[in-house]
Amino acid sequence: MEEAAAAAEAVVVTPGEVLGKASQVRAGRGAYVAPHNNLVYASLTGFRRTLSPPPNSPDQRPTVEVTGHKAHGAVPEPGSVVIARVTRVTARVASADIMCVGPKSVREKFTGSIRQQDVRATEIDKVDMHLSFRPGDIIRAVVLSLGDARAYYLSTAKNELGVVSAESTAGETMVPISWTEMQCPLTGQIEQRKVAKVGG
């Protein structure tokens, strides 16, 4: 339920509605500026919110944005952290299905690939892909770029990126013991992975 103060300013706007003049407001998310008449229009259906500008910026126009009651499903953007499941590992590239972008899950999976030089930050030419990932592992990665037609380029070259959860050959979820090794609690077997540093 909306609070009374917020409900007063929560106006529903639809695509194409005028939100203001470009000289007076800046277009935030869900809004755009039409170049031919310098008006700011909404491009989403949602609630119109006005954000005041930061006090020390040269541009003192408030930002108007439209927060969707339903924004479109998550799409991987360069720089976003994603959760993916590894599907195939070869000598140079590991393919993964991106399942979550940030905190939101995607409706239908996107394909990502991690190249040999993007697995870790040090000694990148001595990386063995089979000792870093196995098919079925859940990894946390960051999107480097849109990649090519087939896949987004992902990178795990940071301490907090890498394998988050993996199953051992015996079928149990493994426990990480160092940044390169995980151990199966049932059999005691140690398997090599590029492990993500989770927690503080």
Binding region for other proteins (CB under 8 A):
1-2, 12, 14-18, 30, 32, 34, 41, 43-47, 68-73, 75, 107-111, 146, 148-150
Please, which residue, 37 or 159, has the CB nearer to other proteins?
37
Taking the C-alpha atoms of residue 94 and residue 115, their distance in angstroms, rounded to an integer, is 6
Please, which residue, 72 or 126, has the CB nearer to other proteins?
72
Query: In the bound complex, what is the minimum distance in angstroms from residue 113's beta carbon to other proteins?
Result: 13
Taking the C-alpha atoms of residue 182 and residue 168, their distance in angstroms, rounded to an integer, is 9
Enter the tokens of residue 121. 């930050």
Please, which residue, 18 or 170, has the CB nearer to other proteins?
18
**Are 193 and 157 spatial neighbours (Cβ–Cβ below 8 Å)?**
no
Taking the C-alpha atoms of residue 141 and residue 48, their distance in angstroms, rounded to an integer, is 33
For residue 101, which of 85, 87, 83 has the smallest C-alpha distance?
A: 83
Query: In the bound complex, what is the minimum distance in angstroms from residue 47's beta carbon to other proteins?
Result: 8
Please, which residue, 79 or 200, has the CB nearer to other proteins?
79
